[in-house]
Every structure is written in C-alpha cells, then in structure tokens.
Chain A
Amino acid sequence: MNFFDIILFPFRWIVSAVLWVFHELFTLIGMDPASGVTWVLSIVGLTLVMRTLTIPLFLKQIKSMRGMQELQPEMAKLQAKYKGKKDQLSRQAMAEEQMALYKEHGSNPFAACLPIIVQMPIFFALFQVLRSVPQAAQGNESIHVLAPQLVHQFNASTIFGAPLFSTLMQPGNGNHAATIILAVVMIVAMSATQFITQKQLTARNMSDSAKESPMYRQQQMMLYMFPLIFAIGGINFPLGVLVYWTVSNLWSMGQQWWVIRNNPTKGSQAERELNERRAAKGLPPVGMSKKEHEEKVEEQRQRAAAGQRAQPVSKKRQKQQSKKNYG
C-alpha cells in the first residue's frame, strides 16, 4: 500500500459498506441478489448518498463564489483605474491591490476550489472500489465489507446482457452490442449533462460585469473541455463506473438548477427572471421588504405626478409597472 492508498483506505471502506447496505436492502425487499438491476440500483443509491453528503461542500463553494461576486463592483473600480495600463509594473500594482481586496473580504479566487479538493478522496475511493471489482473477483478476494462471494456476484452480474464491468473498448464475454449501446448512451448523457450544468452557470447565473472578466473566458473554455474529457475517459470506464458518473452529473444539474432558480446571483439573468416571477405573484423583488418596495414605487409615482419627465421605459416594463401600481 502506498501513501495514497493509506489515505483513501477509510473512504474505500465506507464506499464498500454503503454498497453492501444498499444491496442487502434491495435483496430484503425481494429483488434478485445476483441481478444486474439490483447492483446498478445499489450504485445509484451509493451515488445519491455521496452527493447528499457533499451538499454542505457545494453550498460552501456557492458561498465563496458569491463572495467573489460581491466584491465585483470594487473589482470593476480597480479595473477602471488600471484601464489601458498594460505595462508590467501597472499590472503588478493592480495584482497587489487585488490581493489586498481579497484579503479584506476574506475570499480568494484560489480558495474556491477547496471544496472540490475535499471531495476528491471520496470520488477516488469510489472509483477504486468499482474498478477493483473484476480483479478482486479473479483473485477471489473481498473488497473491505463486500465478501468474496458478493464480489463474484457483482462482477458476474449483467444488465440487458452487458456485464457491469465491461468497457466500450473491452466488451468482455457478454452481449457486445448491449455493452456498446449502454456505454455510448451513458457517455453522451454524462457529457451532455456536464455541458448543460456549466452552460447554465455561465449563461444565466453570472452578473453582466462578471461576464467581462478573464475568468469568464476561462470558464467558457472549460465548458467545452470537460465533456471532451468525459468522452475520451468514458470509453475506458466499466459500465458500473459510467452509471455512477451519469447519475452524479444528473444530480449536479438538478442541484444547480435549483440553486440558480431560487437563489440567483445579483445582477444575473436568473435574478431578473426570479424577480419577474415574484412580481407576477405580487411579491417585492429579492432583497427588498414589501414596505421598502411599496415606498419606492410610491416615490416614483409621486415624482411622476410632480411633473418631472419620467424616464423612458420599455413597453414590457411599462406593462409590468402598471400591473404593480394598479393591479
């Protein structure tokens, strides 16, 4: 065992235990213990447990991203201050001021990746357990909590005739067509979900000022890189691992959708949409109490009544405002 394996040992143990618990549970409610469906559902259960456990980390990540977004106005000021100054010294001076700003707000762009790092051992452990099944079955070994007999069963189980541990490149001795179709479908599904998740984040949940930063361009590149990595890596992953990854990506997409819908970033497209939905229900915009909102509307109305020329408003907003004022 090397250093990496020693660190991962407790995580691997937990992963195998969760798999075992789900398998026992499904057997208990009358499912065939040797069936591929039972094992696939156990993997799905494992994925759901792992993703639920990492929700706090996800929230922390969101918070840190919000922190970055909150200092966006000050950042924009800084960018304006150094606008057009391309020489090395000015850029250094700007980097220095940026660092001071991050420190002051207690958020660092390089700290945003911490939750991802913390999740790493869990995912590595999961991969190691799933990928070690064929080898352990061959050597008649146990995988932590899973007894050799269970490992054999797991390894031999098939779904639609495709062995759970066959890969697109090595379809094994089961139904080759089924393996290939299942692998391709899942690879496409996980690449697509990854793409949609990223796209949602950048297109709808970034403030307009954040979209002008170099960080945005970097994220745009990731948008196309990740699905590609999945597609390339996917051809070498056993179906069982693909099931895990597809379900996990679907979960990410749902999680993201929920957060963007109900708790959008300030100044983003998603916030405008949320405020429109709230207005339709007669609620004030986010971050404003009903009283504050009414006072603001009242003030606007009085100013208009006082004979001051009203600001030109688009037809769409005119309709909304009249709805708010008189509806």
Chain B
Amino acid sequence: MTSRVTPEQLLARAPHEYNLSGGFLGVLRGIPQNLCIALLKLYRTIVSPLYGDVCRYFPSCSAYALEAVTVHGAVRGLGLSVKRLLRCHPWAAGGIDRVPAGGREFTSAASTPKVVLLNHPNLVHQYTHDCPARHAAQGANAR
C-alpha cells in the first residue's frame, strides 16, 4: 500500500501504456498493439495540441482510441476507435463516453497507465485517498 501520494505524483509515476507482458512470445504478439499505441501517442503529442479541445465527448477521440488499444489490443481497440470516430460528428449531442472494459486490467494505482488515469480522473482521487476497502472494488470499476 503506497502511503499518501498526490494525484500529480501518481500521474508522474504512472507506467507507460505499452503491453510487454508474457515473455518473448507475448512481446512478439504485442507488436501490432504497441505499434498502434506508439502512433497514437505520437499523434497526441504532435497533432492534438494544434487543435486544442474540440471533441464533443469526454474522453476525446484520441484519448479514447489510446485507451481502447491499450486495454483491448490492436484489433478490437481499433474497431472501437473507428466506431467512436463515427459517433463524433456535428449532429452528435456529445457527452461522456467511456471505453468498455477489456482484456487488460489494472488492479492498483501504481500499475495503471497514464492515459487510463487521465480518462478516469475520479478514479485517481479514490486511489490517492487511503481506503483499502474501496481499492478491492476498484478492479471492477476501473474501466
């Protein structure tokens, strides 16, 4: 159990989104997923700041795509991202639209990647307030 950490510290220490689990074969299988993650991160560093906040949803389309690929893998993640992009058009009402739960789960704050923390800001506040009883439930709520 980490002693009290501020949300800023938690965010600064958050692990990267890449999936490197499962030994040599796992890494080999994770190539498409990690490639997508790398491209999305590149997009989010270079292109996103040029626009500012323009998406009608929270999280924004690129944040949604990054989380979807991180959590669901390349194929399902990209499928979800395309569906989301189709939902994001001038006639859409917008609102909060989260990535559904997927294969990768993060049980503790320290193991949750940055984009998931950013997309679930309230989760972080729960993590940073010491409350072991709640932590158990968070595995299920995390996404």
Contacts and interface: CB of A to CB of B under 8 A. Distances in A.
Do A and B assemble together? yes
Interface of A: 87-90, 92-93, 95-96, 98-100, 102-103, 106, 108, 110-111, 113-114, 117
Given A93-B125, A95-B58, A102-B94, 20 more contacts: A88-B8, A89-B7, A89-B8, A89-B117, A90-B7, A92-B119, A92-B121, A95-B53, A96-B122, A99-B57, A99-B96, A100-B58, A100-B95, A106-B93, A110-B55, A110-B94, A111-B56, A111-B90, A111-B93, A114-B91
Nearest to B128: A89
A92 to B, nearest CB: 4
Contact of B94 (A88, A111, A114): A111
A110 B91 CA distance: 10
Nearest to B117: A89
B138 to A, nearest CB: 16
27 contacts: A87-B8, A88-B11, A89-B117, A89-B118, A89-B121, A90-B7, A90-B121, A92-B118, A92-B119, A92-B121, A93-B121, A96-B58, A96-B96, A98-B58, A99-B95, A100-B58, A100-B96, A102-B95, A103-B93, A103-B95, A103-B96, A106-B93, A108-B93, A110-B56, A110-B90, A111-B94, A114-B91
Interface of B: 7-8, 10-11, 53-58, 90-91, 93-96, 117-119, 121-122, 124-125
Contacts of A108: 56, 93-94
A111 B94 CA distance: 9
Contacts of B96: 96, 99-100, 103
A103 B121 contact: no
A104 to B, nearest CB: 9
Interface centre among B55, B56, B57, B117 (most CB of A within 10 A): B56
B94 to A, nearest CB: 4
A100 B97 CA distance: 10
A114 to B, nearest CB: 5
B15 to A, nearest CB: 16
A93 B94 contact: no
A88 B7 CA distance: 9
A90 B128 CA distance: 13
Nearest to A114: B90
A99 B53 CA distance: 12
Nearest to B6: A87
Contacts of A117: 90
A99 B119 CA distance: 13
A99 B121 contact: no
10 interchain residue pairs of minimum CB distance: A103-B95, A93-B121, A99-B58, A92-B121, A108-B94, A89-B7, A87-B8, A96-B58, A89-B121, A110-B56
Q: Which of B8, B54, B121 has the most CB of A within 10 A?
A: B121
Nearest to B122: A93
A88 B12 CA distance: 10
B118 A88 contact: yes
Nearest to A103: B95
B43 to A, nearest CB: 18
B6 to A, nearest CB: 8
B93 A87 contact: no
A260 to B, nearest CB: 26
B143 to A, nearest CB: 15
B28 to A, nearest CB: 34
B126 to A, nearest CB: 12
A87 B117 CA distance: 13
A60 to B, nearest CB: 13
